[in-house]
Amino acid sequence: MSELTFEGVSVRFGGRRHGLTAVDGVDLTVPGGSVVGLVGESGSGKSTLARAAVGLAPLHAGRILLDGEPVRRGRRSRPALQMVFQDPYSSLDPRMTIGDSIAEATPRRGPARRAEVTRLLDLVGLGADRARAYPGQLSGGQCQRVALARALAGDPRVLIADEITSALDVSIQGAVLNLVREVQRELRLSLLFISHDLAVVRYVSDFIAVMYLGRIVEYGPAEAVLTDPSHPYTRELLAAVSEPVSTGEADPALRAVADVEPADPHAPPPGCRFHPRCPVGPAVLDGRDLCRESEPVPQGHRHLAACHFAAGR
Ligand SMILES: Nc1ncnc2c1ncn2[C@@H]1O[C@H](COP(=O)(O)OP(=O)(O)OP(=O)(O)O)[C@@H](O)[C@H]1O
Ligand code: SF4
Ligand SMILES: [Mg+2]
C-alpha cells in the first residue's frame, strides 16, 4: 500500500500581474489503502491539485510524494499513479476497440496481453465480448468502466478519480461508485476521490478534505467531518446535502450571505478567504474582525480546520 502526500503544493496559472493561484499551499495525505474524498465547489482547485500530481499542471511550489519519494513524471511514473477523468468518452479513442484501448495501457506483451485485457474487463464488471466494441457503442457508465480498466492496466498503487460520476446518468452513478470502492478494496489501492458533491464523497470516503479557493479548510476522518464539522463552509456544504429542497425559511445568517458573489480567485479576500460568505464571520457577527485580518491555519489533531472560531476552539 502506498501513501500519496502533497506538501505545501501551489499551482499558479498566468503571469505575475493577471495570474491566479488555483492551489495555494496545500498539505494533504492519502494514507496507504484508504480513500480520501476531496470536496469543494466549482473552481476551488480540486482538479488542478489532481492534475499537478500526474504532471498535467505546473508545480509553483511544494512537493508531491509517493511513499516519501517525489512522484516521477514521464513514462516510468505511469504505473504507480493513475487518474480517471470526468468525461468517459473523451478519455477513449473513438477509433480504437475497447480491447485495443486497454491492451495499449498494459505493460504486458504477447499472448499474456489478451488474457490481461479479459482480466481487466472482468475486474470492472464487463464481459470479455466487449473487447471488440467501440466507445460509441457503449453507454457512459460502460465507458467509465473501460477508463477505469485502462487506469488499472499498469497496476497502479494510487488512483485519482476526478468527478468520475458527474457526467453519468444519475441512475448508474451508484453502480460506478460501488465498483470503484470494490476495486479499491480488492486491490488495496490508495484513492483520492474528487467530487463537488458531498453526497457522493461521503459514500466512498474514509477521510474527507474540504477545499475552498485553493486551500484545504477542513480535513479529518469522514465520520468526524460529517457528524461534527468544524468549519462553517463544511457545515454549509452539509446543510445543502441534507436539505435538497429549500423551504424558504433558511437560517437568517445563511440568508445574509447567500447573495454574496463567489470570491474571485484572482484576488482572494484578505484574512480568511471565506469571510465575505461566512455565516458566522464578520459580515454577520460583531467582534470577528480577526477573520478579515489574519488567515487561519489548519489546527487540530486528526481532525483539522482552518477557522479562528472553529467549533470547540
Ligand atoms: N489551465 C488553466 N489556465 C488558467 N486557469 C485555470 C486553468 N485550469 C484551471 N484554472 C483555474 O483554476 C481554478 C481552479 O480550477 P479547477 O478546475 O482546479 O477547479 P475544480 O475545483 O476542479 O472545479 P470543478 O468542480 O468545476 O471541476 C479556477 O479558477 C480555474 O478557472
Ligand atoms: S475564520 Fe472567521 S470568516 Fe473564516 S470561517 Fe472561521 S469564522 Fe468564518
Ligand atoms: Mg474539477
Ligand 1 neighbour 44 (Cβ under 6 A): yes
Residue with the three cell numbers 470503484: 180
Name the residue at shortest CA distance from atom 1 of ligand 2.
Answer: 307
Nearest CA to ligand 2 atom 5: 307
Tell me the CA–centroid distance for residue 242 and ligand 2, in Å: 22
Determine the Cα–Cα distance for residues 128 and 111; give it in Å rounded to an integer.
15
Determine the distance separating the centroid of ligand 1 and the alpha carbon of 113, expressed in angstroms. Answer: 37
Which parts of the chain sit beneath pLDDT 50? 245-247, 252-256
pLDDT tens by residue, 19-55: 999 999 999 999 999 999 999 999 999 999 999 999 9
Ligand 1 close to Cβ of residue 34 (< 6 A): no
Q: Which of ligand 1's atoms lies nearest the C-alpha of 163?
A: 27
Return the ligand number nearest the Cα of 295: 2
Looking from the CA of residue 13, the nearest atom of ligand 1 is 4
Q: What is the pLDDT of residue 259?
A: 55
User: Hey, what CATH topology would domain 4-226 get?
Assistant: Rossmann fold (3.40.50)
Contact indicator for 305, 231 with CB cutoff of 8 Å:
yes
| H-assigned helices in 188-242 | 198-204, 222-227, 232-242
Q: In the prediction, which pLDDT does 243 show?
A: 60
Q: DSSP letter string over 16-63?
A: TTT-EEEEEEEEEEE-TT-EEEEE--TTSSHHHHHHHHTTSS--SEEE
Taking CA atoms, 127 is separated from 121, 124, 161, 224, in Å, by 6, 9, 23, 39
Indicate the domain borders of the chain: 4-226, 228-305
Q: Is the CB of 281 under 6 A from ligand 2?
A: yes
Average pLDDT along the chain: 91
Per the CB < 8 A criterion, the answer to whether 166 and 4 are in contact is no
Ligand 1 atom at shortest distance from the alpha carbon of 11? 12
* CB of 303 shorter than 6 A to ligand 2: no
Q: What is the phi/psi pair of residue 211, to 5°?
A: -110, 140
Q: Atom 1 of ligand 1 has which residue's CA nearest to it? A: 13
Task: Using most ligand atoms within 8 A of CB, pick from 210, 277, 286, 291 the residue to mutate for ligand 2.
Answer: 291
**Ligand 3 midpoint to CA 45 (Å):** 7
pTM of the model: 0.93
pLDDT score recorded for residue 257 = 55
C-beta 219 within 6 A of ligand 2: no
- Ligand 2 contact, 280 CB (< 6 A): yes
Q: How far is the CA of 45 from the centre of ligand 1 (A)?
A: 6
Ligand 3 is an ion; its neighbours by CB within 5 Å are 47
Among protein residues, the one with the nearest Cα to ligand 2's atom 3 is 275
The rounded distance, in Å, linking the Cα atoms of 144 and 103 is: 16
pLDDT score for 18 = 84
Q: Which amino acid is at 159?
A: L
Helix (H) or strand (E) holding 256: helix 252-258
